[in-house]
Structure formats: C-alpha cells, structure tokens
Amino acid sequence: METVVEQPTVAMPRLGWPAPNFEAETTHGTLRLDDFRGSWVILFSHPADFTPVCTTEFVAFAQIAPELKKRNVELLGLSIDSTYSHIAWVRNIEEKFGVKITFPIIADLDKKVAMLYGMIMPGESKTETSRCVFVIDDKGILRAMIYYPLTTGRNTDEILRLIDALQTTDKHGVATPANWRPGDKVIVPPPKTTDDAEERLKEGYECKDWYFCMKSL
Ligand code: BEZ
C-alpha cells in the first residue's frame, strides 16, 4: 500500500510582496523589521550557535559586512537559540577567529520569525532553521530568497553579487545574465510588442536577435 507522508502547511514569503514584519529579541535589543526601512536587509538563518559550518559562515558574513554597508545593506542573523548563547558564540568567534560580529542576531526561541518565513525544513530538522537568506529592499519588499541545507555553507560572494545585480536592475531598468559581475554587459528587457521589436534593432544595442539585446552601462 502507498504510504502518504503528511506535508505540514507552512507560511512561505513571496518575492515581490512586502516582507512579513516582526518584532524580535536580538543581541542588539528588541528590533522590528520595519526599523530597517530605508536600508536593504539580508535576513539570514543558521541552524545553531557553536557549530562549525555556521561559524565559517558568520566569519564570512562579517568579512563582507563593510562591502554591504557601502551598498546600504544591513545584516540580521537568526537561529532558535537564546541571546545568551548568541552572545557567548560571538565572543568565542572574536576570541578564536579574530573576527568581530557587529550585526544583530535574532534569538527566535519561540520560532515566530522562523515560521513566518518558512525557515524550518522539517525533513531536515524540526528544531533548527536551515540556511536561508532573504534579501529585503529599502522599501520593505522581499526581492530574493536562497535556501541551503544544513550541511552546505553559503557563498557570500554570491550574496554580494545578488545585491549588486538587484541594485543594478533598480538603477538602470535592466536584467543581468547568468554569472554576471559588475562591469559586465547587461540585458535590455525584451520588447513587448511587434513595433517595439522592430525599433529595438535600431537603438544601437548589441543584439543577437530582436529578443536578445545587451548593452554596457
Ligand atoms: C554546522 O554548522 O556545522 C552544522 C549545523 C547543523 C547540521 C550540520 C552542520
């Protein structure tokens, strides 16, 4: 007989919609997501304090923090651990790795934020958040989500690249191709009418065809 596995119904945030607001206890005191309005936010979860992969990630996030600041991006960490645990862990990271963690970390002991954002993958762990990244823009709109499993540390170069791509899209009204890096050519959004398709070819873009045009910024 076929076994039916019960799938729990969980909230999932949606790209392009306002990121769900919350108030949470953090290592910097009580914070609300909307306190960050006017800045971009990278809200990211890790499975647990004092674990090795998470420690490498915290060191890596701390290392890109100055580059993120230049782009008006704030970091906000989260796990289902207490503020005491977070404080002890960041002190340990500074002592053992010489890296200061300057961003706040949410102590989501009641899993309120984790449930709101669908950060718990019960198939992996019912008690830990997976490695999730939510990019929220300066108007509070959820712009990107990345989900990684417990055993794979994230790539902070890719997170920085994603911020650059999103901010380039906003500034210039363009899209970015696969493996794009700042300075590379960008994609001119495809035309929506036959007249636009005709015009497009006269506009001096580098076009392979009417639907595929690139330009330098
Ligand atoms: C770690 O951060 O090392 C880790 C955490 C949870 C599961 C596996 C690895």
Nearest to 114 by CA among 16, 20, 14: 20
pLDDT of residue 199: 85
The 10s digit of each residue's pLDDT in 149-159 is: 999 999 999 99
Structure tokens at 189: 């959004």
Mention the CATH class of domain 173-217. Answer: alpha beta
C-alpha neighbours within 13 Å on the C-beta side of residue 39: 16
Q: Locate the DSSP E strands across 119-200.
A: 131-136, 142-148, 186-188
Phi-psi label, residue 102: left if phi above 0, alpha if psi -120 to 50, beta otherwise: alpha
pLDDT of residue 12: 84
Q: Using CA atoms, how far apart are residues 79 and 132, in angstroms rounded to an integer? A: 11
Expressed in angstroms and rounded, the spacing between residue 55 Cα and the centre of ligand 1 is 9
- What is this structure's pTM? 0.94
The 10s digit of each residue's pLDDT in 37-86 is: 999 999 999 999 999 999 999 999 999 999 999 999 999 999 999 999 99
The 10s digit of each residue's pLDDT in 166-206 is: 999 999 999 999 999 999 999 999 889 999 888 888 888 99
For residue 28, what pLDDT band results from cuts at 50, 70 and 90? very high
Domain ranges of the chain: 23-154, 173-217
Query: Active site residue: 54, 132, 207, 213, which one?
Result: 54
Bridge partners of 148, per DSSP, are 131
The verdict on whether 132 is a catalytic residue reads no
| Pocket of ligand 1 contains residue 150 by CB under 6 Å | yes
Which residues contact residue 86 at a Cβ distance below 8 angstroms, ignoring those fewer than 6 apart? 27, 49, 79, 105, 107
pLDDT of residue 197: 87
The 10s digit of each residue's pLDDT in 82-129 is: 999 999 999 999 999 999 999 999 999 999 999 999 999 999 999 999
| Pocket of ligand 1 contains residue 53 by CB under 6 Å | yes
Expressed in angstroms and rounded, the spacing between residue 102 Cα and the centre of ligand 1 is 22
pLDDT of residue 1: 60
- Rg of the chain over Cα atoms, rounded to whole angstroms, equals 20
Fold of 23-154: Glutaredoxin (3.40.30)
pLDDT of residue 161: 98
The minimum-distance atom of ligand 1 relative to the CA of 128 is: 6
Mean pLDDT computed over every residue of the chain: 95
Pairing label, strands 206-209, 212-215 = antiparallel
| Pocket of ligand 1 contains residue 121 by CB under 6 Å | no
Percentage, residues of the chain above pLDDT 70: 95
Q: Indicate the length of the chain as a whole number.
A: 217
More confident residue, 100 or 6: 100
